[in-house]
Structure 1
Amino acid sequence: MTTTAHIRYLQRQAIDVARWDACIERSANRLIYGFHFYLDHLTSGQWAALVLEDYKAVMPLTWRRKWGVTYLCQPAFTQQTGIFFTEPISHDSINSFLGILTRHYRFAEIYLNYASGLPTLRIHDNLILPLERPYPQLEARYKKDLVRNLRLAARSGLTYTPDIDLDTAIEAYRSQYAARHPAIRPEDYSRFRKLCLHLQPKGQLILRAAFAGDQLQATALLVRDASRLYLLQSTTLPAGRMTGANHFLIDQLIREWAGSGLTLDFEGSDIRGIAYFYANFGALREPYFFYRHNHLPWPWRLLKS
């Protein structure tokens, strides 16, 4: 059992990033969102942490400040954080981490990763597809609806290409989905772009597109680590909705990375239609958790109730 006495609260500048990243690297529930460079880029360094003993388990605390109140919130393009651990932790240990949050932050709305939740917390859906098998075996699990849409795409003469630049992919996503994601601010896109530029020379940024002739139909922006491909932005242009471009693009990604041993992380979704789309590829459900507390003084408590 973990006691709160063994958990330290550290500001960003006090964190030993080498030990931090080593903990994330060794974690059974490793996700790219937990590495210090990812957090630094997408929060501009505005994060603190809870650290168990000598970095045996860590929990990033991504914060903002408004009206003089510092609170926890989830950064854009960071689906889930929570506790990352090198040895299994119990529900009591998770409660110990969460209990400390209330000492430092009066308000919190964050997402805990798939392995650090509690039965009492609200569940959100993520879908993943392990890519250990050869493509024919993965394709054999495709649903009938998907197979029909791939036939449509084949008749549309689509081509799959890596010849797309970063700004084209990001702007396609923003132009199509900004209204759907109003909480993503212009500065969030700027920070995300800088993260991608950091990852690109390391071979961790993957950009793919579907074209019909010279007309862009769909784009996919992924980042990768040692175990996963994260589909951070998937965009279908208006013309691509008539050609099955997104079905084609995801199928080609699976074909390209089949047998790699990586896991394709679709990053969602709670939206029924999107979840159905990814499930058609044989994706598996991997839930994560929403954590919230509100200890704000009145009347702010009412505003955030």
Structure 2
Amino acid sequence: MVYIFGGISLDIIASKKCFDLGTSNPLKFSIRVGGVGFNILNHLEYNHNIFISAIGNDAFGQLVVEKVRRQNFNIAIQNINTDLNLEDIFKKNDKKLDKINYNDNKNSQSNETQIYEDQPSFKVFGDNFDNNICLIKNDKYQTSIYSAFMEGGNCLVAAADFEIIEKTLTFDIIHPILEKVDSKDICVIDSNLDPEECEKIILFLNSKGCKIFFETISLQKTLRVANILKNIFFTAPDVIEFNALLEGYSNIEQMIRDRNIQYILKTDGENGSILYGLDLKEPIHFKPPEELDVYDTTGAGDFLLSKIIEAFLMSRKIEESINYASEKVVEYLKELNR
């Protein structure tokens, strides 16, 4: 079983070879569902999983759900303000949830989109964990938004509002799900979660003995979790995030020993990546399989982590998993930039 705790968002991406600063740039925007947690789930070719995230009671949340429902996912929506009971989605019987409306009012006569109106009802997850998404709806915050300006394949600047994830994916709220984890499972956490809550979750999962894969996401979010990022199996920061984690240590070996991080993969785009590990005598360098000229690399890091996890689930060694994932990233970028 793979449990993924993290963000889902509406991504608005602008891509251009070179932006003219200080003025409007004519171009086409790409609008899609993103968020690190969702991206990992979406690219993970392994169906025995569950993704936990949060959306707001707004048009952005409605659009996210409408887009996701077109894919092969089972979606349960629980409202934190009215009917939150995460235990319900784990009942081990054939109870079904009837057509869930986005506004949680089955008798509503409004014109709001009936999210499951034209779909058959589905089983509460129970023992069936194939492509499952649990979205906790929180009326107090807006659905997460991520916007990026990609210049020549690199992020020129980006902005993100994931407050709803911080306020909703707390230890107390998701505890019923955490209780289901056992030592054979893999748990994926992204740093959109509040650092204090993230620390509680990691400590609890450590007691379960499962392997934790952690996504650092960005410099600012890496800095937030730098002091609590301990006792995890794998993380893959980019160079800037890596240096932030290394601050205060004389070398990487000291850092991974002190923090008990089994493996850390420093990624550096076209320069490849370097793997450090507690059981490695020396770092392992990975060259990129192919040089690409691309204008958009959004989500490449999330894709890489998903494929590393995927290969690891195939019982491949971590080095083999990274090679496999690196080759898959090339395919992903080619498709993204068609």
Q: Does TM, normalized by the shorter one, top 0.5?
A: no
Question: Does 1 or 2 have the higher relative contact order (CA < 8 Å, sep 6+)?
Answer: 1
